[in-house]
Structures are given as structure tokens and as C-alpha cells.
Amino acid sequence: MTEKVTKLALASRLIVLVVQLMANGALPEHKPDVFRMPVSDEPKGCCEWIDKLVQRCFGGLRHWDGEYFLHIAKNLYSYENTLAFYPLYPVVVRHVAQALELVGLPLSPDSILLLVAIGLNVWLFCESANLLFQLTHRMFNDLNKSWYAALIYCFNPATIFFTAAYSESFFAYASFSLMLECLKPTDHFRFLRLGAALAACLVCRSNGLITVGFPLYFFARQLLVKSKEGTSCWQMGKMVLTILGALGILHTYYFYIYRLYCLPSTTAIHPKHIVDYAEERKYLISGRGSEGSPWCQYTLPFPYTYVQSHYWDVGFLRYYKWKQLPNFLLALPMLSFMHWHCYDYLRDFIRSVWAKVTPSGYRELVKEHITFPFVLHAAFLTLICTVFVHIQVSTRLLASATPVFYWFAADHMPKTLAQLKLRSKAGALFIWCTTYSLVGTVLFCNNYPWT
């Protein structure tokens, strides 16, 4: 089955690549006034035609946030607005690209970065599809549901972002890895793998911080369910050290950023085209010390919330404006689907809680409802998407952060695809995923706004 899922995932990525290539050639590219990675005017050498071919074939996958990730991969955090993007994905792309440059490929660094960013995402997407299949099968022991979850994942409504130079595939891979590790019994926890997966979640995306709840919940669940057997202090100590170690890696990144932007002793020498672009766009550039940003004076000097608020106007209900109505309509299918299904599940769970008010009853409840932390996590993310973030990112955020969407969707599917009817819930899911996959790929690769 693993081979079958991998073939499905690869086929879906090939479809995305072909569609974006055709759309790039058929439609004129939109040129919005947004961030673009500044490029040096230096001559590119004798193989410039290969670079043009790479950009012609794959240039549609670098737009919007992809420009930021590729800029970080090449220039690290030279501008303050890039601090909205966490380091794991661009840093891995950077180091793989540097290794390939040493081989002597006849390509410019920019072309190598783009190819590595796309290639890494294709590989991580295939791996995450297999992890989702394994996770679903571990949870429900249902091959049919596991297959449908993987199928919907491969053609999810935000599928373009899992191939473009975005961190969605990496975050899905890290999240599903962590969740799968957490399902193991306490005495079989592989703490090194669990810690690595948790650290990857934390330094991949800002919402990765919420995933700390999974090892905490499942460790506590084991204590409750197997209270008579007991858990050694050594096991508990290893769990604490695992979580603290992962958080320590995250705070190492925070310290690096603080040192880069806030300490007077830190200076940075930037290429001329980086400085010129900063002056043109009025960006704060790193290594300016005493000219640091207001967040440097915070009691806890974490830049993320300041940068999101200052550069993107992210905040509670700030996106609720009439001019954003098209973006609300784009996000409506995902948000309404998740709100309803999470509400339905949690309502039934609360009823079960009231029905079992004894300690033994609660122990049985926790044992039966193993999906509870996953749905609670999904419900919290859905609520955050609804009231805080730019609403159009809800689709890709939820599609990459939680398996619950795929589990709920798989529940609506028939026993076989031959039984699929368009005038049914499964048919509506099929139309939604197919439409968003195709339209989203066409619009995104031509630099038009998309979810």
C-alpha cells in the first residue's frame, strides 16, 4: 500500500507541474506590487539559457510567499518583514542548494534554489501522504478510510502550495510524524524521533507551537489509562527533556533574530542590490543595532506578532472589511466544513463527559475517544483562522496542519470511487477539491491572488 500511495502522490505532483507549465504559457502573468526577491545585475555566465529554461518551466511556483522563502534561503533574514517566515524550510533548501553548487551544476544559484525548493517539496509531499495513510490506519484500523484520506490529501483544495516554494509540505510531514510517534505506548516512545518531529514543527511554522500539546496529552493519557501499571520517573524525565529540548531549538532561532536586529554590536554587510531594494521598499534591514524595531524593547522580544501586525495588519477581526469579501468566499468551504464537523464531534464528546462523571468513567472516555486531541487541535486552528489571520490562508493552513480535515472528508466517501455520485456529499467534495486544485494552480502560477 505504501508504494500505491507514493505513486498516487507523485502522479498528483506531476499533474500540478504540467498544469502550471501550460497555464504559464497560455496566460499573461499578473504583476502585483508585492515583495520580489531582489536579484543582482551581475552577468550569469555561459549557461544563461538553462536558467531561462528553468524559470520558464518552474517560475510559476515561486510567487507570493515563495519569494520570501527563496529570499531567506539565499540571503537569510536580511529584511525585517521576512521574520514572518520560520527558518526550517528555507534553511534546508539553502544547505541542499549549496551542496549542489559544489558539484558544479551549470546553473545560477537562483535556479538551483528554485529546483531544490520544488524537489524537496515533492519528496516531502510523498512522504507526508504515506504518513497520513499510516496515521489514519493506526487510528481507525480501516484501509478504505486510510486510502481515501491519502487520496483527498493528494488533491486537496490547497494542493498548489504543497509543490510551490512554500513550507506546507514540510509542516505536514513534521506534524504527521509527530502525531504518529505520539500514538505509541509510553514505554515505546522513541523520544529522539518525537523530539526531532516536535522541533521541526516548532521551527517550520508559527502554529507549530500548538503541536506541543500532542506529546503532553498522549503522555498524560497513558498515565490515566494505565494508572495501575505506573510510569517511571525516568520516562517522565525523558518526556520533559524532549519538550524542553525542542523549545530550546526554537528559542535558539529567536535569539539569533534578536541578536541580528536588536544588539548594537551586531553589524551585517549586505550586497548593494539588497540595500537598494530595502531603500526602495522602506524595509528595515538587519544589522542596524540601535535603529532596531519596537519589538526589541518587548519584555519577551519575539518578532512574529509585531511583524504580522505591522506589515500585514494581522490581528483580531482586522480582516473583516467589505473589500475582503472575495477572500472570505474563497475560505468559506474549508471553514464551514471544519466548523460544522468539529462542532458536531465536540458536542457529542461533551455529552459523553456528562454521562460519565466518575474517575473510571473519565478513564474509559479518554480511552475511547482517541481522536479528541486531534479534533480539538483542528477546532482551535479553525477558530484562529476565522478571527485572526488573513482569511484566505485558512484553506492551506488547515490542509497542512491537521489530518482531521481528511478524516472527516473520508467519512463522506462511498466504498468505491465507482459509486461516487456528483449529487452527494462525496460529489460536492470531489467538485470542490478538483476546482480549487485546477483553478488555484492556474491563478497562483500566474501571480494572481489565491487562497
d(CA 130, CA 124): 10
Residue 415: per-residue pLDDT: 87
Q: What is the DSSP string of 70-87?
A: HHHHHH-S-BGGGGGS-S
Per-residue pLDDT of the chain (451 residues; tens, 9 = 90+): 689 999 999 999 999 999 999 998 888 888 888 999 998 877 665 568 888 999 999 999 999 999 999 999 999 999 999 999 999 999 999 999 999 999 888 899 999 999 999 999 999 999 999 999 999 999 999 999 999 999 999 999 999 999 999 999 999 999 999 999 998 776 667 889 999 999 999 999 999 999 999 999 998 888 777 755 555 777 888 889 999 999 999 999 999 999 999 887 777 788 999 999 999 999 999 987 656 789 998 888 999 999 999 999 998 999 999 999 999 999 999 999 999 999 999 999 888 877 766 666 667 777 778 899 999 999 999 999 999 999 999 999 999 999 999 999 999 999 888 888 888 999 999 999 999 999 999 999 999 988 7
Residue 369: per-residue pLDDT: 85
Q: How far is CA 371 from CA 143, 293, 365, 366, in A?
A: 17, 43, 11, 9
How confident is the model over 269-316, as pLDDT tens digits?
A: 889 999 999 999 999 999 876 567 899 988 889 999 999 999 999 989
The half-sphere exposure of 139 on its side-chain side, counting CA atoms within 13 A, is 26
Q: Where are the domains positioned within the chain?
A: 2-445
> Which three-class secondary structure state does DSSP give residue 312?
helix
